[in-house]
Structure 1
């Protein structure tokens, strides 16, 4: 099947949503444009009412339920943003909602969902991933004769997300490339199919986290597959299995899928915050993070990056900085076995560390062998180029070491 087999009406959905959502700005970004020698625009869905595009699909579906369905209430499963869209819609339409979220959902998203629901929603935390809480939500829906509001794999949801494409084309008619973050595929399916039907020559690029390649594996398989595990850091796109309907549409509308490492996304989050004062959540930064991976093909073109959300918990910033430093090769962890001679620790600090190197963590692994036992040492460099000279000095002064950045098991155990 192709996207032409499905009848979506994003323009009708746009009229339905007109008095409910923000018509988010499409902003030209001078810094990124200069860096990539292109015209880069940011579609600011982080400025949406619930700080993500998810409200569009949720409201578009719930507002079309009949009176009997609204009286029984709705259920959803969400990593956070869809939950907030459903909660807002429940309050707006005066219907009860039960919202299932993974236990690892950032507190900020849970609190926001409760706030937008304003007494109309109940939140149930269950499971480690979206797919875990989805199973529980579906069972609850059936047991209580309620209506399930899917996060992506539904025509009304996809149609609502398609209004992002309507706005992009109205604001930048001659856009040539659009980059969408991808998890379940609802945004790329809805907005991508609208853009492709209006402009077949337009290049639609989907961007997935390296640790959650659901669309990439589906394309390799010829249909959706369930991933055994996903890296849940980019929680808004960490989906084990993309939708059947979204895949059927995306395989014909998305020209290319890029996989972006989580550490690269963290670097992008920090750059956007420090240089543009934009608070992007990890999934929201995916499209901008992907620019380095397609910089040759976008050169000289008009490009839109969809910033899908800005629900980032400030308590995650230390973790984001750490992952960024590791990705940029600016932070390294070692197990160092200090020589059994007096002053070894002093020698390490004075003779091994470079003038701009900084010890960010120091912990003796064997507490009874200070001065000569093994220690966990974290070192932050000013430049990735300083790494080689650090290693040379460590070996020249006969320090026995093991770098653990690239040893996933050891890293998770010690760091």
Structure 2
């Protein structure tokens, strides 16, 4: 059932949150990025929330919410469900405020993330691994709240959480001596975007706050287009810090009024941005943390000559995902291609393919023989990395002329999913 609300954070509540967070959340740097400023012919500044002690802005909302609990609520303890940044923010808040908390995480959560949460919460938290998905652990957390009368700490759909996240906006305005024309912010459930857009609406109404979602999880975009909070049946979960099926009701109501625009960015573009930030600026970001920067390409004309802030929301990236990040970036750039190749049953066929069919800069990155389908041909799945997208069509033409071409797999999602 749709929850109707007229809640909008007040300036007083946001400033009160900022006072509570003094000494808890870092006042993160707002620094010019030369690479992107030059590329887009404007003044690009990064708000480095990835440099918080928990490596994301989530400590702001979690601590502000938990520091507002009544003595009875503190005595009963709190519960949250998260496999990511929210869990770390809640865990640290539990330790700082000396509140006992239970954090539900899905059973497949990588051990590295579980250990991070334990490190921040120490003896004040208990971690429960429950279910195969976030929905499973979220359901179990809600049941514990009801059974033991504990307080559930929502990651975004909560007034105190929104007011805590809004303090990012206060800091930006206090750190600049010039007008800010655009702010780009990642949108997951909407906690940060709703708080941030409120600050700028009140204090700097000319600033356009642009919400950014991954293309595969356009929950806020869809909801604003439909003019009602809409749950998506399926989402791509790669940008895990900004992939929710339904945004918060409170958050939707605020973002619908205060965001100047909502845009989506392909996951492959996000991956290329992660690699660029690491290789050129030595900045490590998680996929959600790269969203705001990846969005600049889609606003290139509008931001020329402007002052632009990108919220770098987090850096809790799993190093085991590096290969997938590179793969998705190459696919997005149209440089990685998979084929079914038919090798004629004659001596030297493989050598002929490598020497005569492939170009001098084409690399084989995947090669896997399959079972023979007839007496004339062996069949292999071959992955190729090209130096330029323009090399693809001549390569396919040469394959066909020499009877090596079997099929092109990039545009066949039912098969392609097994390759990446």
TM interval, short-chain normalised = over 0.9
> Which has the higher mean CA deviation after the structures are superposed, 102-111 or 91-100?
102-111
Q: 2:160 aligns with which of 141, 156, 163?
A: 156
Matching of residue 7 in structure 1 with residue 10 in structure 2: yes
Q: 1:413 aligns with which of 409, 415, 418?
A: 418
Alignment of 1:51-200 (within 5 A): 51-127=55-131, 129-173=133-177, 174-200=179-205
Alignment of 1:206-355 (within 5 A): 206-355=211-360
How many Å apart are 1:105 and its aligned residue?
3.8
Tell me the residue number matched to 1:26.
30
- Counterpart CA distance in 1 for 2:218 and 2:109 is 20
- Counterpart CA distance in 2 for 1:292 and 1:106 is 33
Q: Cα–Cα, structure 1 residues 105 and 252, in superposed 2: closer, same or farther, change >3 Å?
A: farther
Deviation by residue 1:283-304 (Cα, 9 ceiling, x = unmatched): 0000001111111111110000
TM-score after normalising by structure 2: 0.95
> Which has the higher mean CA deviation after the structures are superposed, 341-350 or 22-31?
341-350
Runs of 4+ in 1 over 6 A off after TM superposition: 1-4, 367-371
- Residue 47 of structure 2 contacts residue 312 of structure 2 at CA under 8 Å; is this kept in 1? yes
- Counterpart CA distance in 1 for 2:37 and 2:5 is 34
- Counterpart CA distance in 2 for 1:361 and 1:264 is 22
Q: Cα–Cα, structure 1 residues 22 and 370, in superposed 2: closer, same or farther, change >3 Å?
A: farther
How many Å apart are 1:199 and its aligned residue?
1.2
SS in 2 for 1:329: coil
> Which has the higher mean CA deviation after the structures are superposed, 328-337 or 282-291?
328-337
How many Å apart are 1:392 and its aligned residue?
2.1
Q: Cα–Cα, structure 1 residues 47 and 6, in superposed 2: closer, same or farther, change >3 Å?
A: closer
How many Å apart are 1:414 and its aligned residue?
4.7
How many Å apart are 1:106 and its aligned residue?
4.2
How many Å apart are 1:49 and its aligned residue?
1.1
Q: Cα–Cα, structure 1 residues 151 and 4, in superposed 2: closer, same or farther, change >3 Å?
A: closer
TM-score after normalising by structure 1: 0.96
- Counterpart CA distance in 2 for 1:128 and 1:268 is 30
How many Å apart are 1:241 and its aligned residue?
0.2
- Counterpart CA distance in 1 for 2:411 and 2:53 is 41
- Residue 9 of structure 2 contacts residue 195 of structure 2 at CA under 8 Å; is this kept in 1? no
Tell me the residue number matched to 1:37.
41
- Counterpart CA distance in 1 for 2:258 and 2:340 is 49
- Residue 129 of structure 1 contacts residue 232 of structure 1 at CA under 8 Å; is this kept in 2? no
Q: Cα–Cα, structure 1 residues 106 and 304, in superposed 2: closer, same or farther, change >3 Å?
A: farther
- Counterpart CA distance in 2 for 1:33 and 1:350 is 43
RMSD over equivalenced CA pairs, Å: 1.8
How many Å apart are 1:326 and its aligned residue?
1.0
- Residue 338 of structure 2 contacts residue 382 of structure 2 at CA under 8 Å; is this kept in 1? yes
How many Å apart are 1:330 and its aligned residue?
1.1
Matching of residue 366 in structure 1 with residue 365 in structure 2: no
**Gaps spanning 5+ residues in structure 2: where?**
none
- Residue 50 of structure 2 contacts residue 315 of structure 2 at CA under 8 Å; is this kept in 1? yes
